[in-house]
Amino acid sequence: MVVSNRGPLSFRQDVHGTLQPLPAGGGLVSALRPLLAGTRATWASVTMGAADRAAVDQGLMADDRVALLPIMVDDDTYRGAYDVIANSTLWYCHHHLFDLPRRPRFDRYWRQAWDSYRRYNQAAADVIARSAEPGTVVLVQDYHFSLLGRMLREARPDLPTAHFCHIPFADPNMLHVLPDAAADELLDGLAGFGACGFHAHKWEAGFTACYATAGLAPPRTFVSSLSPDVGGLPAEASGPECARAADALRAEAGDCRIILRVDRVEPSKNILRGLLAFEELLIAYPQWRGRVVHLALAYPSRQGLAEYLAYGAEVTHVAERINASLGTPGWTPILLHVEDDRPRSLAALTLYDVLLVNPVRDGLNLVAKEGPLLNAADGVLVLSHEAGAWEELHGVGAEEAGAGAGAVGVNPFDVTATAEALHTALSMDAPERAARARWLASAVRSRRAEDWLADQLAAAQ
């Protein structure tokens, strides 16, 4: 049984009151869906509102490739658990993104939301405890379910469990921004799992350090990074829809080289410094003006959160300002697209000359692996030291004679250094580009998404 907040299917009610299925967004669901399809797994996920609950009541929450198990929660519980605790507290804490002079504020409203988070985790524990056959292995995904390990251990000690965290884990000093009782409850909740897994060793180190600081024994840990679907993704990217999208993008970019980014608009992704670095590149190296474009595919995420909306508005504003100051009648420097479009994203990954993945802190950044897998232009990966994928893709120490290996690394906070890295990538000679691209593609192909799932199954106890 796999457990995640978001499942493969969700619904909205149209103006006539009819329930319409929505394609599920986000990397986690698109990674899990092909892995679970056609297996004997059950996928338990939470209803995200009234339309989902109505779909469950009407028997519409069903998928012919995988058994679905809905975890029903009311709107207040969901909003407190998902918006306030999971996404505005724990997500910011683990990404070290609290704006400490202003936030967080742990007041009486926050404490009500923490109660909602507890109820949400308990709702999951109750459904799993009722439905799981004896001995079912339960693989729980992400920070929405930090308390579930202890609850399941108490309700069903026979079930082997593992928790996998797709985001970074806070260092002890950041975890202890949380109210003491909440930090204790969180560490105890996670310690109830049979094992806790991470995409990168540095997140595992933060996790065990939190237990050491609290004087507690950590649960067993493991590191296993997710990989793209190395068979299915290239097949999808070579299909007709992506080919049409690639033609459109080529026409839009003209003869210019392409610096690409593909991200959901989240404060961790560092889209603003990416735009500013591109501006600095054009100022420091004016020879690139009219010869390169920054194709920024920046798609909506968590639109219920004011900070996300403000961040998205700032991205648009900064892109427009740079275009107004540096663009010419025949050349728009930044091509910003904000509507989610998967064929266009995959097409762009086949085309880029440079892929910029510069998060301030991020669990993995699957796109840093998808790019080298799909790219057909010997594109260079410029990758933040703070991305989980950096551990696997830096290539340091693996250089072939005379040529580089792996990604070009950047400190994500340093706009000037990022501009220099973009210049290095654009100026790189063809043999080095080819050598790096070959190294990256083979590093990505050395692991399959199935390995990641198998590691969780093996770790669960």
Query: What is the DSSP track for 27-44?
Result: HHHHHHHHHHTTSS-EEE
Handedness of CA 267, 273, 278, 282 (dihedral sign): positive
Distance CA 20, CA 29 (A): 19
What SS3 class is residue 176? coil
C-alpha 224/C-alpha 388 separation (Å) is: 11
CA 175, CA 292: separation in Å to the nearest integer?
42
Radius of gyration of the chain (CA): 22
Nearer to ligand F6P, 167 or 277 (CB): 167
Side-chain-facing half-sphere of 196: CA atoms under 13 Å: 32
**DSSP secondary structure, 267-332, as one string:** GGG-HHHHHHHHHHHHHH-GGGTTTEEEEEEEE---TT-HHHHHHHHHHHHHHHHHHHHH-BTTB-
CB of 48 to ligand F6P, least distance (A): 8
Nearer of residues 117 and 439 to ligand F6P, judged by Cβ: 117
- The least CB distance from residue 437 to ligand F6P, in Å, is 25
Binding site for ligand F6P (CB under 6 A): 5-6, 25-28, 142, 166-167, 301-302
Q: Which is nearer to ligand F6P, 274 or 333 (CB)?
A: 274
- Residue 363 vs 379, nearer CB to ligand F6P: 363
Closest to ligand F6P by CB, 48 or 334: 48
Please, what is the end-to-end C-alpha distance for the chain in angstroms?
14
Q: Closest distance between ligand F6P and the C-beta of residue 302, in Å? A: 5
Cβ-closest residue to ligand F6P? 166
For CA atoms 15, 11, 362, 235, give the dihedral sign: negative
User: In angstroms, what is the minimal distance from the CB of 172 to ligand F6P?
Assistant: 21
**Minimum distance from residue 223 beta carbon to ligand F6P (Å):** 16
CB closer to ligand F6P out of 1 and 293? 1
Give the shortest CB-253-to-ligand F6P separation in angstroms: 27
Measured in whole angstroms, the distance separating CA 248 from the mean position of its chain's CA atoms is 27
CB nearer ligand F6P, residue 198 or residue 288 = 198
Nearest to ligand F6P of 28, 315 (CB atom): 28
Q: Give min distance, CB of 94 to ligand F6P, in A.
A: 10
Q: How far is the CB of 280 from ligand F6P (least distance, A)?
A: 28
